[in-house]
Amino acid sequence: MIILSIESSCDETAAAIVKEGRIVLSDIVHSQVKLHAKWGGVVPEIASRNHLIEVIPVIDQALKQAEVTWADIDAIAVTQGPGLVGALLVGLQVAKSLAYVHQKPLIPVHHLRGHLSAVALHAPNEAQPKVPEYPFLALVVSGGHTAIYRVDSSHDIKIISNTQDDAAGEAFDKVSRMLGLGYPGGPVIEKEAVGGQDDAHRFTLPNIKAAPLDFSFSGLKTAVLTKIKKHGKLPTGQDQKDLLASFQAAAVHQLVTRCTEAMKQEQVLRLVVSGGVACNQRLREQLQTAVEALEGQVFIPPKKWCTDNAAMIAAAAYAQANLYVKRGAHADDDLLNAMSSWAVDYFVEPLGI
């Protein structure tokens, strides 16, 4: 089963060729970060226009790098949502056209199910990674989402914690912008925080009485802004490092605490972590330590498959692609439309793991 997958939900134009839902033969990601950097965040219209320019070259490159032709492709998978509607439309329209021209089944994929399935991916020369047994919890933590899901089977996914305001990645991006450090904020903050003191500033853990497992990052962002205002000018040198290290420590602490609380509450000791913020080394290490202390297991994909990519979309599409190919069926393309906001539990297709 060889799947060509396409992802264009935000500011990455991506295509991949994946064998058996796991073995990544090629994985091309064209990032638009430079185009959005001067605005301090993703500008939807700029994203859509650039997807249009890049999508065909990215697909061609994926086919070429994997050394496959259209005759080798069994199915096409594409992100249907959630995401920026104009950005999604580009990938979806191209996928529909290619499926029609080459007569391949088209598999629509929920973006967050892609993130959940990324743990199964590996390169052809790598051993198969261990994937979690059901049930497991999954933290998806990116610029657009910060949520914990309970996954009881490939069909049964429930959200058990969400953010009340900003996503964690959004907080990194906004703090970076306040300090004039550029976009995306996560990698810059992680780098600039090295040598800073985690406890130089105290930021409190939000206490949301009605939903104790929920996240909140907007208070933390405002607290950082207040510190900057009190400082009288933009902090530089060691002052900046201390502020960033303390902010990063508070954000990581909130994510880790909520995950361990959720694991105890749900009595599930397996945790999958994915999304751009899962690239943060502090977060990876502290989750590992905290979950091991509960005698649980953490599953985090390599960093390149934590951020948006198309390989994870193929992984999520695998089970469904098998069904389509066996039945010789095609999705009803006319019904496929971009879904800008889309709850994960509305999507009943099986996961790829």
**Where do contacts with Zn ion occur on this chain (CB under 5 A)?**
142, 308
Q: Which does 54 bind (CB under 5 to 8 A by kind): ligand KG4, Zn ion, none?
A: none
Closest distance between Zn ion and the C-beta of residue 142, in Å? 4
Q: Which does 169 bind (CB under 5 to 8 A by kind): Zn ion, ligand KG4, none?
A: ligand KG4
Burial class (CB in 10 A: 0-12, 13-18, 19+), 71: exposed
Is residue 254 part of the contact set for ligand KG4 (CB under 6 A)? no
Is residue 186 part of the contact set for ligand KG4 (CB under 6 A)? yes
Q: Which does 143 bind (CB under 5 to 8 A by kind): Zn ion, ligand KG4, none?
A: ligand KG4
Q: Among 86, 169, 301, 352, which residue sits at the site for ligand KG4 (rule: CB under 6 A)?
A: 169
Look at the alpha carbons of 158, 163, 166, 168 in this order and tell me if their dihedral is positive or negative. negative
Closest distance between ligand KG4 and the C-beta of residue 325, in Å? 29
- Token pair recorded at residue 327: 């039945």
Q: Among 88, 149, 308, 338, which residue sits at the site for ligand KG4 (rule: CB under 6 A)?
A: 308
For ligand KG4, which is the closer residue by CB, 173 or 242? 173
Please choose, out of 125-133, 182-190, 232-240, 284-292, the segment that lies near ligand KG4 by the rule CB under 6 A. Answer: 182-190
CB-based burial, 309-319: b 16+ in 10 Å, e otherwise: bbbbbbbbbbb
Report d(CA 353, CA 312) in Å as an integer.
11
* Alpha helix ranges (H) inside the chain: 33-37, 44-66, 85-102, 111-117, 168-178, 185-192, 218-231, 237-266, 281-293, 311-327
Convert residues 266-305 into a mask of x (bound to ligand KG4 by CB under 6 A) and - (unbound).
---------xxx-xx-------------------------
Report d(CA 211, CA 164) in Å as an integer.
9
Q: Compute CA distances 86 → 8, 20, 49, 89, 272, whole Å.
A: 9, 30, 9, 5, 30
Report d(CA 281, CA 272) in Å as an integer.
16
Please choose, out of 99-107, 186-194, 201-209, 219-227, the segment that lies near ligand KG4 by the rule CB under 6 A. Answer: 186-194
Closest distance between ligand KG4 and the C-beta of residue 143, in Å? 3
Closest distance between Zn ion and the C-beta of residue 218, in Å? 20
Report d(CA 121, CA 133) in Å as an integer.
16
DSSP string, 157-175: EEEEE-BSS--HHHHHHHH
Closest distance between ligand KG4 and the C-beta of residue 240, in Å? 17
Closest distance between Zn ion and the C-beta of residue 238, in Å? 34
Q: Compute CA distances 325 → 62, 271, 299, 319, whole Å.
A: 22, 32, 30, 10
Q: Among 21, 82, 132, 184, which residue sits at the site for ligand KG4 (rule: CB under 6 A)?
A: 184
The residue with tokens 């060729």 is: 17
Q: How many CB atoms lie within 10 A of CB 294?
A: 13
Closest distance between ligand KG4 and the C-beta of residue 224, in Å? 14
Q: Among 82, 144, 206, 352, which residue sits at the site for ligand KG4 (rule: CB under 6 A)?
A: 144
Is residue 114 part of the contact set for ligand KG4 (CB under 6 A)? no
The residue with tokens 């058996």 is: 20
Report d(CA 320, CA 326) in Å as an integer.
10
ω into 57 cis (within 30 of 0): no
Q: Which does 307 bind (CB under 5 to 8 A by kind): ligand KG4, Zn ion, none?
A: ligand KG4
Q: Among 7, 166, 190, 192, which residue sits at the site for ligand KG4 (rule: CB under 6 A)?
A: 190
Per CB under 6 A, residues contacting ligand KG4 are 10, 142-144, 169-170, 172-173, 184-187, 190, 275-277, 279-280, 307-308
